[in-house]
Structures are given as structure tokens and as C-alpha cells.
Amino acid sequence: MSQRKASAVGRIRQWLLRAVLAVATIWIAGILLFSFLPVPFSAVMVERQLGAWLSGNFRYVAHSDWAGRDAISSWMPLAVIASEDQKFPTHWGFDVQAIQSVLDNEGGRMRGASTLSQQTAKNVFLWDGRSWVRKGLEAVLTVGIETVWTKRRIVTVYLNVAEFGDGVFGVEEASQRYFHKPASRLTMSEAALLAAVLPNPIRFRADAPSGYVRQRQQWILRQMKQLGGEGFIREHRL
């Protein structure tokens, strides 16, 4: 390799290293700041907005209204825990048993088994989609937020960045859009309906629920009761 080529390769490596360090610094700062500050927007929101603009859809607006935990009905965290991650109060970011089950049953394909902590890390800091690179970064970020944030903070951020419909992010925006009232006044049934659309909020609609969504809502309601209702939230200080 000539001296000129070696110099060029060295500069590229330096740029890559600086880029990696810059991104890591942003993530660390984000984890620290968002442990107490509202999250103004998420990476997934930015991705959706840019995707809409690039496709020529200038009417799309990825919108979210931040709501602190005290401004969210206790039924809502209970609903997402019941539907998405029932071990949330006790695990350290990963449901090892669920991950092993997925690997055994799906031949190693990356689907399912994501905890609320993992979903929060992905939504806030990473892009949508499936790849081992993204899953690896997600794991690192999950460890970070589990170390710095409380469980109450994790579920609060999750509820504020979760996608509930086309351009609808966060439980406050979803509650206002679909039920015309603040998230603090959501009923048990309404919370379960919002949680029911989370697996695919573009296909499933809270304002026009299909038979499948209604069935899922009823299953979530049963799980919420089995967990202990609002007593579960008080017990785990969520």
C-alpha cells in the first residue's frame, strides 16, 4: 500500500472513530438528560417524518404531547405491562426465558421477546426494523437506561414515545385523538384498547377497532385483572 493510500485509510478510520464517539456521546447524554427531562421527540418519530417527506407526503406530522407519569391514568401502564411485558417490574431489561423460547421456536429469527425497556431504547434512540446490528445497539442502550432510569421513568417515557396510530405518538396525543380527553382520565377499557393496537399501530386502529383488536382488548383486560389491577402499579411504584 502506498503512503498516500495508507494516509487516506488512516483519515477514514479517524473519521469513523470520531463519528462513533460522537454518536455514543449523544446517546449517553440522552440517557442522562431524559432520566428527568421530557423527551421532545424520538428517533422513530424522526424516521417516520423524514419517510413521509421523502415520499411526498407533506401533510403527515409525527406529533406527541408529553405527559408526566402523574398525568397518565394508572390503567395505561398496567395495560402495556399486561400486554407487552408482564415481568417488567422484576427483570433487568431482558426477558431471558422469552428470548430463549423465540430462538428455539423461530430458528434464531429476531422477532418477539422485546421488553418495554428494549422497546423504549429502540424508539428513543434507534431506527425501526430488524437487524443484528440494531439489536446489539438496542441491548447496550437497554442496559444504559435500566442502570440510570427507574422503572417508573422507563414506562413513562415508553408511553410518551409509543406509536398509537398514523402520526400519533404518545398516550396523551392518542387519548385526545381517540377519546377526546386527557390521558389522566383514561378508563381501564380505553387503556386496554390503546395497548391492543401497539403490535401494529398502522394496521390496527383504536378509532375503528377490528374484531381481532376487540378480542385482544378483552384478553388484555383479563390480564390486567389477574395482575391485580391498580394495586399492581402501587405495589411496584409504577
State how far the Cα of 202 lies from the Cα of 82, in Å rounded to an integer.
Answer: 21
Q: How far, in whole angstroms, is CA 153 from its chain's centroid?
A: 13
Instruction: Provide mean pLDDT across the span 10-37.
Output: 88
Most confident of 50-54, 58-62, 218-222: 218-222
Better pLDDT: 11 or 49: 49
pLDDT of 162 reads: 96
Closest among 179, 182, 169, 187 to 206, alpha carbons compared: 179
E strand or H helix that includes residue 169? strand 168-169
Cβ atoms of 142 and 94 within 8 Å: the answer is yes
Better pLDDT: 147 or 14: 147
Better pLDDT: 9 or 29: 29
Instruction: Provide mean pLDDT across the span 156-181.
Output: 96
pLDDT of 200 reads: 93
pTM of the complete model: 0.89
State how far the Cα of 123 lies from the Cα of 155, in Å rounded to an integer.
Answer: 12
Instruction: Provide mean pLDDT across the span 35-55.
Output: 93
pLDDT of 109 reads: 47
Q: Which residue has the cell 430488524?
A: 130
Instruction: Provide mean pLDDT across the span 195-218.
Output: 95
pLDDT of 95 reads: 79
Closest among 68, 76, 65, 62 to 34, alpha carbons compared: 68
Q: Give percent of the chain with pLDDT exceeding 90.
A: 70
State how far the Cα of 224 lies from the Cα of 218, in Å rounded to an integer.
Answer: 10
pLDDT (tens digit per residue) in 95-130: 777 666 666 565 444 445 689 999 999 999 998 877
Question: Given a cut of 50, is residue 18 above it in pLDDT?
Answer: yes
pLDDT of 130 reads: 77
In this structure, of 42-51, 172-181, 220-229, the range with the lowest mean pLDDT score is 42-51
State how far the Cα of 129 lies from the Cα of 32, in Å rounded to an integer.
Answer: 25
Instruction: Provide mean pLDDT across the span 184-202.
Output: 97
Better pLDDT: 127 or 30: 30
pLDDT of 110 reads: 46
Homologous superfamily (CATH) of 41-235 is Biosynthetic peptidoglycan transglycosylase-like (1.10.3810.10)
